[in-house]
Amino acid sequence: MSLMIRHIVENQLLRGVKLVAGFSGESNVISWVNVMEILDSPNSVQRGELLVTTGYNLNEHELFSDLILTLKNNGVSGIAIQTGYYIDKIPGYVLDESDRLGFPVLEIPKDLTFSDILRILIQKINASKSENELSDEAARSRFQSIFETLKQYSQILFHEYTGKVAHLFYVQPINQYAVSETTALTCMNRIKSYLTDRADTCEYHTAKNGITSFLLIFETENKYLSMIYDFSIELTFLSEQQGIHYYVGIDRIKSLESLYLSFEHVLECTELLKSIHAKRGVCSYDNMTFIKMFGILHQNEHSFVSDNQALQILLNYDRINQTNYVQTLRYYLADNCNASKTAARLYIHRHTLQKRLEKIYDLCGINSDDYFARLYMSISLLFHDYFAF
């Protein structure tokens, strides 16, 4: 998939970068990156390039009054301007002209070096080109690998009543070039280990672009259902702790012949997550209607997480004190406030859990006996896991 302006912001390829003007041009494709510390030759920037600059002297309106129009007419994809050194903020005339012409303007924070910007974006551009060239071959290899494994288990899965179920997991890293290669590899290995431990059978195929397809077989459907929320939380932890985000599409495989359809379904799931601008998340094909509704609610109520003061208190307390109160509350609510079940899941004594819950209630004032309070907190946690950084 080609790199677009919006991908830099949505996937936080460059941490802290914001799209501040020319929003209608957010889908402009970036073919290369051109760094120009001093804007002395804007006419030299080629079609499809992203111009990166310090904004030196950009406050001089008379010198650069036609800058945006020139770049737009030359087919440049957008401009990324660093603030904090030569200019404190991007001048209003630049923003106004960019909005008028639909020419995207990215604001770069002071702490990002041009070397890092070039490295990350050019790696992503080259990876996108390779991905497009290899996509058909990679898809065939991925399908064939999973098909051969599934064929070995087809009798007990589809022709005998054993209760066993098979699911296809499609795990797509969406900002792996924003972290080191070692971090990306470590995180994917952590996912592989997690799924291997939780499933009865786990086979996987990893493509060159980092996308990994898993064939997971569970003894029962309930065993699958009991792990899926935990897996979503695991991805949130990787995102918060390591800075890498994943989309995961899931579909139950109903027959050997339907494997190809399942691959189409998991791709639909990841495309849906992308369309609702999720930062990360898990979407099963059976739950796509809910995820669509969830995305619409997010667009209409973008401050859902920050408005929930109780959740903010717990998040801040965890960050400062290195506690896991948010995780505890997640599991407790997911288990329908069944203390015994949550204690077993967390490998702690029921009395220990009770004391932890009392501390949570003291901190944020949530009333677990109030159905609507529980529902509000559950929805806020989902918004945090899918959309918050």
pLDDT means per 10 residues in the chain (389 residues)? 87 90 93 90 89 94 94 94 94 96 95 89 74 58 85 89 92 86 92 95 87 94 89 89 93 91 90 86 92 77 67 88 89 88 90 92 86 87 81
Q: What is the pLDDT of residue 142?
A: 77
Q: What is the pLDDT of residue 129?
A: 59
Q: Are 233 and 250 in contact (CB under 8 A)?
A: no
Q: What is the pLDDT of residue 12?
A: 83
CB atoms within 10 A of CB 32: 14
Q: What is the pLDDT of residue 95?
A: 96
Rg of the chain over CA atoms, in angstroms? 24
Q: What is the pLDDT of residue 300?
A: 56
Q: What is the pLDDT of residue 1?
A: 65
Q: What is the pLDDT of residue 134?
A: 43
Q: What is the pLDDT of residue 264?
A: 87
Q: What is the pLDDT of residue 133?
A: 45
